[in-house]
Amino acid sequence: MNQHQTQARTDNRSARRIAFVQACWHKDIVDRCRVSFAVEIAKLGVGEEDIDYFEVPGSLEIPLHAQLLAESGRYAAIVAAGFIVNGGVYRHEFVAEAVISGLMRVQLDTKVPVISAVLTPQNFHEHDEHKKFFLDHFVVKGAEAAAACAATVDKVARLPLAS
């Protein structure tokens, strides 16, 4: 294999790498998204070896982590997963707006797609019914994030970009 083939293979591999950044608040619920994402993205041809997983304390820490990962040039996409609920310390709306706006800014500034599986329900109560709903819902969101990630990476790769 010559140097050009080696470089093309390396570029192709890095073009398929995905970073998955997960907040650890309500980790038991958000973990369901990560597991579902991994299962679904594998069905779409992205192997476990092509995904790097990162944990941050809470959702407010996701945008900075996503930006640093995007700026590294190693990833074709960043997936963010978190669960922002009204916990009484910060206003739910403030945190949700800051995180979602931050993620949008990251992808627009770096041109690396950021797929959001950061859920921001208006009401969440830690009783069995709500917890079961969100445990199940994060499985759905993980699969949806995988489909969106694969489609976006493919579509961005096909865009005619100016040199």
Given a contact cutoff of 8 angstroms between Cβ atoms, the answer to whether 117 and 154 are in contact is no
Given a contact cutoff of 8 angstroms between Cβ atoms, the answer to whether 79 and 17 are in contact is no
Q: What span, in angstroms and rounded, lies between the C-alpha atoms of 80 and 69?
A: 12
Q: Which residues are catalytic?
A: 91
Q: What is the pLDDT of residue 134?
A: 80
Q: What is the pLDDT of residue 5?
A: 35
Q: What is the pLDDT of residues 69-106, one digit of tens each?
A: 999 999 999 999 999 887 665 577 888 899 999 999 99
Q: What is the pLDDT of residue 13?
A: 41
Average pLDDT, the chain: 87
pTM of the model: 0.86
Instruction: Fill in the amino acid letter for 114.
Output: V
Q: How far is it between the farthest Cα atoms of the chain?
A: 60
Q: Which residues pair with 52 in a beta bridge?
A: 19
Q: What span, in angstroms and rounded, lies between the C-alpha atoms of 24 and 14?
A: 27
Q: What percent of the chain has pLDDT over 70?
A: 87
